[in-house]
Amino acid sequence: MRHPKLFFILFLAGFVVFASGIFLLTAGRVIGQSLFGRSYAEGELKDYISTVLKQEIHGARCQAVDTNRNGYVSCDYTTVSEPNVPRSLECAAWGIDGFLNRGCKTRLPNFPS
């Protein structure tokens, strides 16, 4: 080791980047979702619409933050074939739950038990 200070600085910088990433995925979930959540969920929505439903998306809008902590956020979209008919899905949210969930699912109504 010719330059131990250089290796220490590189190690420290790598650790800071790694720790910041873990923080944004776990404890700082709301911060991470506020920064990256909307674009991440809209990307999942666009992939789902084009690959699963085989339709071209006209417009899309997703929430940024997973308020009920189920790993999904609410998204509304319209298709090119029916631009005046809004539809809803739940798509994976930014964070560990969202990375495990991936994709979208239909939103089922909550009926009282």
User: What distance in Å separates the CA atoms of residue 65 and residue 42, rounded to the nearest whole number?
Assistant: 12
Domain ranges of the chain: 4-105
Asked if 98 contacts 40 with a C-beta cutoff of 8 angstroms, the reply is yes
pLDDT in tens, the chain (113 residues): 577 888 899 999 999 999 888 777 666 667 777 777 888 899 999 999 999 889 898 999 999 888 887 888 999 999 998 889 899 999 988 877 777 878 888 866 555 54
pTM for this prediction: 0.68
